[in-house]
Amino acid sequence: LPELQYPPRLNCVTELLSSAATDGGRTALCGAQGDWTYAQLRERVDRIAHVLRGPLQLEAGNRVLLRGANTPMMAACILAVMKAGLIAVPTMPLLRARELGKIADKAQINAVLCADSLRAELEAATLPEAARARTLFFGTDGEDALEALMATQPPAFEAVDTAADDVCLISFTSGTTGIPKGTMHFHRDVMVICDCFPRSILQSRPGDIFIGTPPLAFTFGLGGLLLFPLRVGGTAVLLEKLTPETLLKAIETYRATVCFTAPTFYRQMAVLAPQFDLASLQKSVSAGEALPLATRESWRQATGLRMIDGIGATELLHIFISASGEQIRPGATGKPVPGYQACILDFDGNPVGPGVIGRLAVKGPTGCRYLADDRQRDYVLNGWNLTGDAYEMDADGYFYYRSRTDDMIISAGYNIAGPEVEDVLLRHPAVAECGVIGRPDEERGQIVEAHVVLRAGFAASPELVVQLQDFVKEQIAPYKYPRAVKFLKALPRTETGKLQRFKLRDE
Ligand code: 3UK
């Protein structure tokens, strides 16, 4: 088990920028605009920290809204906020003014650091007066440029002496309905996630080069593409607007060793992989939504790599169930990451044994801490975090994802998990992407409805519908077959690669 012992006074950025990477000449971050060494990163972080505490006059505990695509400068801003004893409130690049206004209000922000490319939506948002007055933009040479102020500041900043349990990050869930929930995390939590998954499952090393798609505003990306690389003294490649094709190209160019992205990206990359030299790649991590066995297999065929699946949540900060190498069991997410415990509960909150589907409950060194008025009691029961996922455990303690608890389809009395049907459909040569939902039905309560995106070269037809239905009936219990099949050009997904099932239902 990892020790996870930290001193009572702790600033996570001091640890991250000094521990592994004593060699300042080593490359810390790579971006489209060039590479930064650890020494350069430290200096830029320190100058930004001075800007925050000097010209912007922010005080310990103040909250700074951060906006930007994945770039070294966005990374430096996040680190500077934490090093200066302030609280980082990163926001997803695609959020619109209305959503930004809600987050700014909810998180009670005091200042903003925003990429110039995202200026328009920020300017359209309603922000507290004081925060508006303390807004700087980076990637520009205008009057309100962060870079111009940085140049006037000293190159070294002494980290603010924070407590291990001072909040350093407020991360918002994507919130499919209503207002996103804010989750609070301590300096210690940042160290904890760096010392759990990357060490025990990834076994990251100083030479590792991390690459991938999740935004730094999503804790999957914040950990995988910034905190973990720094903790092990590795290199993070931060690129914006990646597509499956440009990500493959970037893996080749930067000789990346570790890739973080969502299942839908791996599916598309598996098709194109033979056109690229991916020999450098050693680890591929999939998270954000369930990894179908079909995707795991096609990725292995294309690259020879065994995908590392891991379930994480904003509430728990990062991945808490996973497996790698020989420990991988087909169909399972894995076992609790050392440091975490997991069990399955029934709807009364009692533990159930192997082979029974129930609610996933997780306990460990990180956990849910919602901002004041969010529904803490819905997520945490007697110290156990209820993630909202329906899972099943086997006799060896492996955990198998079934569906979100509120997405379980009930048709004519049968419980049907959409992802199981999706996994079968994805094995059909005509299917590129699919999403399976329950559609209200007078007779059966709900019917299974599949939304299918076809691969190039295939066309929708009534015959294909029957083919797909028969294909499902042949491989799993016939009552699970999709009674309705619809063809779409693309599936609705979040910025984090999650299928938006509610949008399929609302159609
Ligand atoms: C689902 C998965 C099956 C699951 C996240 C890695 O996704 C992350 O956080 P979110 O708060 O969503 C959490 C929910 O997403 N999920 C995530 N990973 C998997 N379902 N298999 C998986 N491997 O419903 C979970 O409750 O957006 C992922 C690291 C940090 C994260 N925040």
Distance 310 CA to ligand 1 centre (A): 8
Please tell me the total count of domains within the chain: 2
Q: pLDDT value at position 22?
A: 63
Question: How far apart are alpha carbons 288 and 290 in whole angstroms?
Answer: 7
- Report how far ligand 1's centroid is from the alpha carbon of 66 (Å): 22
pLDDT at residue 409, rounded to an integer: 97
Is 204 a pocket residue for ligand 1 (Cβ < 6 Å)?
A: no
Residue closest via CA to ligand 1's atom 15 equals 288
* 195 CA from centroid of ligand 1 (Å): 19
Mean pLDDT of 343-365: 96
Does residue 422 line the site of ligand 1, with CB under 6 A?
no
pLDDT of residue 14: 95
Does 320 map to a domain? no
Q: Where are the beta strands (DSSP E) in 199-288?
A: 209-212, 235-238, 258-261, 283-286
Supply the mean pLDDT for the chain. 95
Helices 263-272 and 293-303: crossing angle, nearest 10°?
Answer: 40
Burial 460-482 (b: 16+ CB within 10 A, else e): eeeebbeebbebbeebeeeebbb
Q: Please report how the helices 38-53 and 72-83 are oriented relative to each other, as an axis angle in degrees rounded to 10.
A: 60
237 domain residue, yes or no: no
Long-range contacts at 409-413 (CB < 8 A, ≥ 24 apart) = 409/436, 409/437, 409/438, 409/446, 409/448, 410/438, 410/445, 410/446, 411/438, 411/441, 411/444, 411/445, 411/446, 411/447, 411/448, 411/479, 412/443, 412/444, 412/445, 412/479, 413/445
Place 360 in a pLDDT band, splitting at 50, 70 and 90.
very high
- For residue 366 and ligand 1, the question of a CB distance below 6 A is answered with no
Final residue in a domain of this structure, among 186, 219, 247: 186
Mean pLDDT of 207-216: 97
The predicted structure's pLDDT at residue 479: 96
Residue 108: band (very low, low, confident or very high) from pLDDT cuts 50, 70, 90: very high
Q: What is the pLDDT of residue 297?
A: 97
On whether residue 54 sits in a domain, the answer given is yes
* Entry pTM: 0.96
Q: Is the pLDDT of residue 373 over 90?
A: no
Domain enclosing residue 440, as ranges: 408-506
| Nearest atom in ligand 1 to 401's CA | 3
Rounded percentage of the chain residues whose pLDDT exceeds 70: 98
Q: How far apart are CA 105 and CA 102, in angstroms?
A: 5
* pLDDT of 32 above 80: yes
**385 ligand 1 Cβ < 6 A:** no
Spacing, Cα 287 to ligand 1 middle (Å): 6
In a domain, 102, yes or no: yes
- 389 CB within 6 A, ligand 1: yes
Q: pLDDT: is 344 or 19 the higher one? A: 344
pLDDT in tens, 409-426: 999 999 999 999 999 999
Residue 186: CB within 6 Å of ligand 1?
Answer: no
**Is there an atom of ligand 1 within 6 Å of 181 CB?**
no
In a domain, 284, yes or no: no
Whole-angstrom distance, CA of residue 227 vs CA of residue 180: 24
The verdict on residue 371 lying in a domain is no
pLDDT of residue 2: 75
The whole-angstrom separation of Cα 476 and Cα 484 is: 17
Whether residue 375 is contained in a domain is answered as no
Is 296 touching ligand 1 by the criterion CB < 6 Å? no
Q: Could you report the per-residue pLDDT of 443-466, keeping only the tens digit for each?
A: 999 999 999 999 999 999 999 999
Tell me, what's the pLDDT at 3?
A: 86
Provide the pLDDT confidence category of residue 20 given band limits of 50, 70 and 90: low
- pLDDT score for 177: 60
Query: Quick check: CB of 319 below 6 Å from ligand 1?
Result: yes
pLDDT of residue 367 exceeding 70: yes
Token representation of residue 477: 């219990």
Report CA torsion sign: 223, 228, 231, 236: negative
| Percentage of the chain lying above the pLDDT 90 cut | 93
313 lines ligand 1 (CB under 6 A): yes
Spatial distance between the Cα atoms of 276 and 278, rounded to a whole number of angstroms: 6
Is ligand 1 within 6 A of the CB of residue 190? no
**Model confidence band, residue 180 (pLDDT cutoffs 50, 70, 90):** confident
The answer to whether 299 and 311 have CB atoms below 8 angstroms apart is no
Q: What Cα–Cα distance (Å) separates residue 86 from each residue in 11, 77, 97, 159, 161? A: 11, 11, 24, 11, 11
Residue 254: which H helix or E strand, with range? helix 244-254
Cα of 26 vs centre of ligand 1, distance in Å, is: 32
369 Cβ inside 6 Å of ligand 1: no
For the segment 109-142, what is each residue's pLDDT rounded down to a tens digit?
999 999 999 999 999 999 999 999 999 999 998 8
Q: 248: pLDDT confidence band, cut at 50, 70 and 90? A: very high
Report CA(432)–ligand 1 centroid distance (Å): 22
Q: What is the pLDDT of residue 375?
A: 85
Q: How many CB atoms lie within 10 A of CB 329?
A: 15
**Alpha carbon distance 418, 80 (integer Å):** 43
Which of 151, 186, 221 represents a domain boundary (last residue)?
Answer: 186
**Ligand 1 pocket, residue 496 CB under 6 Å:** yes
As beta bridge partners, residue 209 has 235
Q: Which atom of ligand 1 is nearest to the CA of 321?
A: 23
Comparing C-alpha atoms, which of 172, 170, 173, 174 is closest to residue 184?
Answer: 170
CATH number at residue 68: 3.40.50.980
Question: Tell me: the pLDDT tens digits for 77-94?
Answer: 999 999 999 999 999 999
CB 30 within 8 A of CB 235: yes
- For residue 330, report the distance from its CA to the centre of ligand 1, in Å: 19
**Whether pLDDT at 21 is above 60:** no
Residue at 357 is within a domain = no
Last residue of a domain, one of 156, 186, 216: 186
CATH classification of the domain holding 431: 3.30.300.30
Protein residue whose Cα sits closest to atom 2 of ligand 1: 289
Q: Which residue has 């926001």 as its token pair?
A: 91
| Collapsed DSSP state (helix, strand, coil) of residue 124 | helix
By alpha-carbon position, which residue is closest to atom 26 of ligand 1?
387
Q: Cα(221) to centroid of ligand 1, in Å? A: 12
Whose C-alpha lies nearest to ligand 1, atom 3? 290
Q: Identify which of 92, 314, 499 to mutate to test ligand 1's pocket (most ligand atoms within 8 A of the CB).
A: 314
Q: Which residues pair with 260 in a beta bridge?
A: 212, 285
Torsion of CA 268, 269, 275, 279, to 10 degrees: -170
